[in-house]
Structures are given as structure tokens and as C-alpha cells.
């Protein structure tokens, strides 16, 4: 009985802490453009939505493709297309089909900052397993995904 109480208390504390960390937070969600007709019209491969307790219309998002093709590192600034829904953006494919790539998404909303990494390869983007952080990713973080 004591072990069950200890685990329940720990789980409750974790839920409380998670709620406090996310309250007033700012993060990006990534989605499939097939679910958004406007994104499909823009030939998007990725839909991005600013989320959290803020004004999504004030979010500014940039994107960069970082990859390795034939053993050479490449970095390509990507055009981010604002969609009609505030805080929603699309990215079309602007990097070569060859190689392995990581799409780095950086968002700012006033003083708030967040960034997300999405793996991309010959089979497309891995929208189901993005890596999120409230502080900038390092080159080592990107290398680990390549």
C-alpha cells in the first residue's frame, strides 16, 4: 500500500509540474498539410501552428533545412508561408531529395521563444516525432538527428 501511495504522489507531482511548465508557454505543433486545403494549395509538406497562452497572430516563424548530401553539410533558408488562420504557417519542400535533412523551426512571440526540429529524408518528413525545446538547439542536437 505504501508503494502505491508513493507512486501516486509522484505521478500527481509530475502532472502538477507539467501543468505549470506549459501554463503561459509557447510551442509549435507540426501537422500534415493534407488536413488543410490552404496548405495543399501552397504545395506544403508541413503545417506549423503556434500554440500556448499567447496571441498566435503575433508569432513569427522562420525555417531552415540543414542536411548532409554526399558527405557535405548544407543549410538552406526556407520560405515560411503565413496561412489565413492566425499563428498557422506552411512550408513547401525547398531542399534536395537526396540526403538526410533536419528542418529547424524557430518561433518568437514578443519575448517568448521556442524551436522545433523535424527529421526529413527520402521517405518524407517525420511529423510524428518532432523534437521541441524552449532554448536553442545546438549543432550536436541537429547532428544526432542526421
Domain coordinates in residue numbering, the chain: 26-145
35-70 per-position pLDDT tens digit: 999 999 999 999 999 998 778 889 999 999 999 999
Compute the average pLDDT of residues 62-84.
97
pLDDT at residue 20 above 70? Answer: no
SS (H, E, C) 87-143: CEEEEECCCCCCCEEEEEEEEEECCEEEEEEEEEECCEECCCCCEEECCCCCHHHHH
pLDDT at residue 123 above 90? Answer: no
**117 near 130, Cβ under 8 Å?**
yes
How remote is the C-alpha of 49 from its chain's centroid?
A: 9
- Joined together, the cell numbers standing for residue 123 give 521517405
Give the pLDDT score at 122.
Answer: 84
User: Which CATH class name applies to 26-145?
Assistant: mainly beta
Give the pLDDT score at 24.
Answer: 66
Amino acid at each position: 500500500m505504501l508503494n502505491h501511495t508513493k507512486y501516486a504522489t509522484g505521478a500527481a507531482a509530475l502532472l502538477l509540474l507539467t501543468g505549470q511548465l506549459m501554463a503561459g508557454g509557447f510551442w509549435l505543433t507540426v501537422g500534415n498539410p493534407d488536413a488543410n486545403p490552404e496548405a495543399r494549395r501552397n504545395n506544403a509538406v508541413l503545417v506549423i501552428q503556434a500554440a500556448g497562452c499567447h496571441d498566435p497572430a503575433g508569432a513569427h516563424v522562420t525555417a531552415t533545412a540543414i542536411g548532409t548530401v554526399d558527405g557535405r553539410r548544407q543549410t538552406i533558408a526556407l520560405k515560411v508561408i503565413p496561412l489565413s488562420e492566425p499563428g498557422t504557417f506552411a512550408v513547401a519542400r525547398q531542399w534536395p531529395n537526396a540526403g538526410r535533412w533536419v528542418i529547424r523551426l524557430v518561433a518568437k512571440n514578443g519575448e517568448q521563444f521556442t524551436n522545433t526540429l523535424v527529421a526529413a529524408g527520402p521517405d518524407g518528413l517525420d511529423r510524428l516525432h518532432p523534437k521541441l525545446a524552449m532554448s536553442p538547439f545546438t549543432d550536436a542536437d541537429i547532428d544526432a538527428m542526421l
